[in-house]
Amino acid sequence: MKTSLQSVYLLLSALIVLSSCGNDQKKAANAAPAVQVYPVVTINPISTSLQTDYPATLEGIQNVDIRPKVDGFIEKIFVDEGAAVKKGQLLFSINAPQYEQMVRTANAAISSAEAEVNAAQLQVNKTKPLVEKDIISKYDLEAAQLTLQSRRAALSQARAELANAKVNLGYTRITSPVDGVIGSIPFKTGSLVSGTSAQPLTTVSNISKVYAYFSMNEKQLLDFSRNYDGKGLQAQIKNIPPVSLVLSDGTTYAENGKIESINGLINTNTGSVSLRATFSNPSMLLRSGASAMVRIPQHLENAILIPQKSTIDLQGKKFVYVVDNKGIIKNTEVEIMELAKDNFYVVTKGLKAGDKIVLEGFQSLKDGMEIKPEEKNADSVYSEISK
């Protein structure tokens, strides 16, 4: 009997324990999940500058093709490729003896014409007193005077031919029309050249100043135009700040430049418009034909910047999680500028000063969830932005 009572007590104890465990499991299942902690930052407007780089081609303010005006053989080359030359400096001489002969022929023609003028003048001088004495007709005097006039015209023509011959002879000595730097010289001494040759003897580039030509697409041009005050394009150009030049080795050129020209037509084939910036080149470091990047600054006041890592890409749009005062998150679409600032986006629509966004680690978040915000210092977050 005693053994039976003990068995009953043991069975009741087991049932009580099992019932207690079942209630604990139900309570645990019904309990709400713990609120997770996520880092957030408060949006504070800041002033910053954006920089846009555009591929550019450099050209001197003058690129003058040097071409012969007469036919002949190159007799001597007085400069070398890459040499700096002054206006009027001798570059080439051309061996063209026919032009020397033309000068001699013209001089001889002048001497002959002068003799004929003198003879005609003597005839007028001899005829004039005879007419005055009515010995001969006045028509004889008029004929003599017309002959003199004809001889003088022939003399003038001979002198003009001499001047023309000297000009042609002068073309055999080719000088630089501007200060600049010599380009390539494809012809060598003894080469036959002609005024109709397609290839120039060389090119002289005036690189005291250099033009940097670059292009913008239509959207970039519209954004660019809206950033600067002024009635009309020319007024806006004056308000564009100085631009810099990034050379092919990645270094920044010491002299700042200025955008001076924007083409009034958009290229229908490329959808772009050409712009020109001018840079001073006192050290002659920049050369025609070189490539570089024109860097245009854009200053922004009270800009809303957010870290790129805090955004979500969905169907070509950007979203962030905005946290309200109760810790509830909302998936919010934002619009950004095409140009970024380091690892930050510039927000143009969707956020305002004082909004809080989730910084990172939000892969498991859903719209309307509650989180426990862990406020991050805004200065430390935005310290990555370069000045």
Boundaries of every domain in the chain = 37-49+301-382, 53-60+206-299, 71-93+173-199, 97-171
In the structure, what pLDDT confidence band is assigned to residue 28 with cuts at 50, 70 and 90? very low
What pLDDT sits at residue 29?
47
Residue 23 clears pLDDT 60, i.e. is over it = no
Report the CATH number of the 71-93+173-199 domain: 2.40.50.100
What pLDDT sits at residue 323?
94
Q: What percentage of the chain carries pLDDT values higher than 90?
A: 43
What pLDDT sits at residue 307?
92
Question: To which CATH superfamily is domain 97-171 assigned?
Answer: Helix hairpin bin (1.10.287.470)
Residue 308 clears pLDDT 80, i.e. is over it = yes
CATH class of residue range 37-49+301-382: mainly beta
What pLDDT sits at residue 39?
92
Mean pLDDT of the chain: 85
Instruction: Establish whether domains 37-49+301-382 and 97-171 are of one fold.
Output: no
Lowest-confidence region among 174-178, 214-218, 248-252: 214-218
In the structure, what pLDDT confidence band is assigned to residue 268 with cuts at 50, 70 and 90? confident
Q: Name the residue with higher pLDDT: 215 or 25.
A: 215
Q: Name the residue with higher pLDDT: 312 or 220.
A: 312
How confident is the model over 34-91, as pLDDT tens digits?
788 999 999 989 888 888 899 999 999 988 999 999 889 999 999 999 898 999 999 9
Question: To which CATH superfamily is domain 53-60+206-299 assigned?
Answer: Efflux pump adaptor protein, beta barrel domain (2.40.30.170)
Residue 363 clears pLDDT 90, i.e. is over it = no
- Estimate the crossing angle of helix 138-170 against helix 97-132, to 10 degrees: 160
pTM check: above 0.85: no
How confident is the model over 54-63, as pLDDT tens digits?
999 999 998 8
How confident is the model over 295-320, as a mean pLDDT?
Answer: 89
In the structure, what pLDDT confidence band is assigned to residue 386 with cuts at 50, 70 and 90? low
| Separation between Cα atoms, residue 187 and residue 240, nearest integer Å | 45
Residue 10 clears pLDDT 70, i.e. is over it = no
